[in-house]
Amino acid sequence: ILPCLSGGGFLVQVTPDANLPVPASPVTYEAEASCNTLSPGVRRENFSSLHASGGVQVNEIGLGRSLQWNGIRVAHEGDYLLTLYYSTKDDRQATLLVDGEVVEQQARFYGNGGYPSSQTRSFGADGMGFHHLVVHLGVGRHSVSVQSAADGWAPNFDRLTLTPLTSEGK
């Protein structure tokens, strides 16, 4: 099981205005990290390192179960691009929470339907889907949770990245 925090990710330019500063590099938090909270029945499972960044993803998030990333640290208050990386063949939904507060009630995670990633929206070259949302976070520690409906299933999760969208001191 990986430790709670790892570096890396990708750089995102979220504005078409070339005069604005490029956001700082994202911070990556693995779903399988030992400090995260998994509901009973949710499990860490080896998954090809070609697809899962750490070679492991979190599965069986269904029937009201959840995955919570703990220990997310923010040094500066502001807006952040939160990106969840997942895998699923079928379209799925889940509720997204930050610090226990709902930020997206029925987030939709599109399945790849068995098609190559180039033919499916929201999928990267590594076969992982991605779901973006902007969240406002204060300085300190935070948690991010995904919870399935009581009668449904969420996708399998690999990691999340957090990218600052506002420059320090603004």
Asked if 110 and 131 count as a contact pair (C-beta separation under 8 A), the reply is no
The residue type found at 114 is G
> Per the structure block, which two tokens stand in for 151?
């009668």
> Per the structure block, which two tokens stand in for 115?
């098609």
Residues 39, 43, 49, CA angle at the centre, nearest 5°?
140
Please give the average per-residue pLDDT across 118-128, as a whole number.
57
pLDDT digits (tens, 9 = 90+) for 1-10: 445 544 443 3
Query: What predicted TM-score, i.e. pTM, was given to this entire model?
Result: 0.81
The residue type found at 93 is Q
- 3 state SS for 140-160: EEEEEEEECCCCCECCEEEEE
Please give the average per-residue pLDDT across 15-20, as a whole number.
50
- Mean pLDDT for the chain overall: 83
pLDDT digits (tens, 9 = 90+) for 85-105: 999 888 999 999 999 999 999
Q: Residue 46: its pLDDT value, please?
A: 92
